[in-house]
Structure 1
Amino acid sequence: MGGKRKKSESEAEEVQFVENSNGDDTNKKTKKKMEILPSMIKNKEKRSAVHAKLKREKKLEKRKKAKAREADEKRALELGEEPPAKKIPRTIENTRELDETVCMPDDEELFAGNDADEFSSILKHGVTPKILITTCRFNSTRGPAFVSELLSVIPNAHYYKRGTYDLKKIVEYAKKKEFTSVVVVHTNRREPDALLIMSLPDGPTAHFKLSKLVLRKDIKNHGNPTSHEPELVMTNFTTRLGHRIGRIIQSLFPQEPNFKGRRVVTFHNQRDFIFVRHHRYIFESKGSQQTDSKGKTVKDDKGEKASQQKMIARLQECGPRFTLKLLSMQHGTFDTKGGEYEWVHKPEMDTSRRRFFL
């Protein structure tokens, strides 16, 4: 009898072990099913159906969160409390790597250096900017078109044909004629691809890569700029290098804009790309029907619908539109052989998407 009991107990333990092992297998299978992604499904129809279902669920969850947030805000306003703080979305800009060269508003050393740098005479209204614009030796069809539009953007700019002259001779000529800057437009494969800005007489020289060029004729509903001196807008040049680049760009423009012309030239830095735009303000009066508190249209004494005039401001792009990216910053005027560089962009610097230099 004892032997039979031992056998039955051992058989029961084996059955229990098998059931437990089967239960573990089923749990693993359910986990695997839960972890299956749409990209892992080979059947196209099933894959699209699963993807649509997940997308719909995600949208519903997002809508629920938004409704809950609105309800919390409404409840806080009714109780006279402060509404919950809005969440700031994570972006590449607000999660950028810490940089020791970021300029602070109370940086006395920075402002003291501004009074003694190469651009102080122009930015303090002591000297009027005078710009010489030229091209590379092997020019293309879009090069002169871009130069002619640059002449309309930068006041007091003069174009000289490059010919076979060496760049050093052009710099010497510009110094004698009291030019404050030299701008060289470089072209490659019939397309402008680089911009060189030299501050005279002693530099520095900034070399930019030029991309995404759109000329005025290719901009829909573009405007034609006037001869008024434009207002200059510089944004997001936060580091020491960015501050220096901003000042070399500022030195191309007069520091007394004529606001009657309503012209604005914008240099906006974002992720080390400088977006250049040229606009003019337009003020228009637009009539609209008067309505009361209930949303019904108001009528005058004659029984006609009363209208009110509203002044609306809008922007009209004048062009050209292009993007600059800094390649190097050099001491003195342009010298490929013996020049000393303040800053040079190298491929090893692009190790992180959240690392910016301007």
Structure 2
Amino acid sequence: MGGMRKNEGNDSGSELDDGKQKNKKMVKKEKGQLLPSMMKNKEKRSAVHAELKHQKKLEKRKKIKARDAAEKRALELGEEPPPRAIPRTIENTREFDETVCKPDDEELFARNDADELSSILKRERTPTILITTSRFNSTLGPAFISELLDVIPNSEYFKRGTYDLKKIVEYAKTKDFTSLIVVHTNRRKPDALLIIGLPDGPTAHFKLSKLVLRKDIKNHGNPTSHEPELVLNNFTTRLGHRIGRIIQSLFPQDPNFRGRRVVTFHNQRDFIFFRHHRYIFETKETNKATCSKTKGTKSSKGENVTQEKVIARLQECGPRFTLKLISLQHGTFDTKSGEYEWVHKPEMDTSRRRFFL
């Protein structure tokens, strides 16, 4: 009986080996003739696909090792290493856009000097922000707004109640607020953000997603009262430049660059990623061994000298969320007779390499 079991085990092992060899043969055959997606048998299809994936990974590792060896050899010989190939990405293969801003665009600079936000960005007015909610608030809405109040200086919260939005806009104008932010909620979560410039607009409507509050961020920190440093990335087109100025008008134009806070709006593929960090400065002592020789003698003594170094690092304060532009409207909020500068439509998403910001 025992011998029979051993034979059975050997037979099963040989069957597995035969299966692997068959898969490798199938892979060799598939490269020139048949694709795994064309195979009817699910088990064979998945096995061939896994083998193809494994071989691609091995080939990639060989190429990386050969590249690193060539660079090392060139550095040892004092030559310039061969240039690395630039990877093909969606960003660097984006469709040509005529509205991309250029450094010598005089029309753009003239437009900036005459738009509704120029008085704030020229420091003629100090930005003051009024934050409110939609009529039906949610459980996460107040927590998100309290963190927005920590992010944006000179901001106040106004309880919406049953007031119409146009009445709140008029109230904010009389109180000399420069912007109004409305946090819209749906299914107990904030899902949209409305930024209204006062008194003459414009109005930007964003879809809000991927919200993570401060308490849910691992190793988070608490923000300080310093004026934040604002970082805007990849707003390259005229529409993107306009959205960047709307965001810039929410923050004071005299940041504490030697302070403790950084607010980042990073645009990538028309998704605006928001992050909020603070600087942490740490002083660390390092021991450095030195040799001191006495005059007239060959003896030397090692001495440890302590040196202090200031190391800066970033700690995230939250919240963390993503914005997607839905529409940009002239003037203040008006759904009936408002004139729109730009509206996102489903037919605009036909190409993955077309970006608008």
TM-score (norm 1): 0.82
C-alpha separation in 1, matches of 2:133 and 2:46: 54
Equivalent position of 2:238 in the other structure: 240
Q: Deviations over 1:268-298 (max 9, x none)?
A: 0000010111100112234556589xxxxxx
Aligned 1:218-257 pairs, distance under 5 A: 218-257=216-255
Q: Deviations for 1:49-78, whole angstroms, at most 9, x for unmatched residues? A: 544543443233223322332343344445
Query: 1:180 aligns to what?
Result: 178
Shift of residue 311, structure 1, vs aligned partner: 3.2
- Asked if the contact 1:226–1:261 (Cα under 8 Å) also holds between the matched residues in 2, the reply is no
Aligned equivalents of 2:285, 2:49: Cα separation in 1: 48
- Please list, as runs of the form range in 1=range in 2, the aligned pairs for 1:47-126 lying within 5 A after superposition: 50-78=48-76, 80-126=78-124
| Distance in 2 separating the partners of 1:190 and 1:124 | 39
Q: Paired residue for 1:331?
A: 330
Aligned to 1:352: 351
After alignment, is 153-162 or 57-66 more displaced?
57-66
Residue 138 (structure 2) pairs with residue 140 (structure 1): yes
SS in 2 for 1:350: helix
Give yes or no for contact 2:224–2:260 (8 Å, CA) kept in 1: no
Report if aligned partners of 1:175, 1:200 keep a CA contact under 8 Å in 2: yes
Residue 199 of structure 1 aligns with an amino acid whose one-letter code is G
Q: Where does residue 316 of structure 1 map in the other structure?
A: 315
Distance 2:51 2:62 in 1: 17
The verdict on how the C-alpha distance between 1:32 and 1:173 changes in structure 2, with shifts beyond 3 A counting, is closer
Report the AA paired with residue 205 of structure 2. H
In structure 2, C-alpha distance between the alignment counterparts of 1:59 and 1:212, rounded to whole Å:
32
How many correspondences in the alignment? 320
Partner residue of 2:259 out of 246, 251, 261: 261
Contact (CA 8 Å) 1:131, 1:156: kept in 2 or not?
Answer: yes
* 1:209 aligned to which of 181, 202, 207: 207
Note closer, same or farther for the CA distance 1:157–1:81 as it changes in structure 2 (3 Å cut).
Answer: same
User: Which residue matches 2:298?
Assistant: none
In structure 2, what is the Cα distance between the partners aligned to 1:290 and 1:52?
53
**Aligned partners of 2:30 and 2:36 also within 8 Å:** no
Mark the runs of 5 or more structure 2 residues left unpaired by the alignment.
1-27, 291-300
CA distance in 2, matches of 1:163, 1:134: 10
Aligned residue type for 1:311: V
Query: Using a 3 Å threshold, how does the CA distance of structure 1 residues 125 and 301 change in structure 2: closer, same or farther?
Result: same
Q: Structure 1 stretch 81-90 or stretch 230-239: which is displaced more?
A: 81-90
Q: CA contact under 8 A between 2:289 and 2:302: conserved in structure 1?
A: no
Q: Which residue of 1 aligns with 2:126?
A: 128
2:192 is aligned, of 184, 191, 194, to: 194
Partner AA of 2:84 in structure 1: K
3-state SS of 1:63 partner: helix
Report if the CA contact (8 A) 2:184-2:191 is conserved.
yes
Q: Deviations over 1:123-148 (max 9, x none)?
A: 11110001111111111111111111
Shift of 1:113: 1.3
Q: Which moved more, 1:69-78 or 1:266-275?
A: 69-78
| Alpha-carbon distance in 2 for matches of 1:322, 1:108 | 35
Structure 2: how far apart are the matches of 1:55 and 1:331?
Answer: 52
SS in 1 for 2:350: coil
Letter in 2 for 1:253: F
How far has the Cα of 1:353 moved from its partner? 0.6
SS at match of 1:150: helix
Q: Extract unaligned runs of 5+ from structure 1.
A: 1-29, 293-299
Compare CA radii of gyration and give the structure with the larger one: 1
Q: Displacement of 1:244 after TM fit?
A: 0.2
Structure 2 counterpart of 1:107, which letter? Answer: D
Contact 1:209 1:327 in 2 (8 A): yes
8 Å CA contact retained: 1:234, 1:268: yes
2:13 match = none
**Structure 2 length normalisation: TM-score?**
0.83
Identity among equivalent pairs (%): 80
Superposed CA RMSD in Å reads 2.5
**Which letter does structure 2 place at the counterpart of 1:150?**
L
Q: Output the CA distance in 1 between the equivalents of 2:49 and 2:305.
A: 53
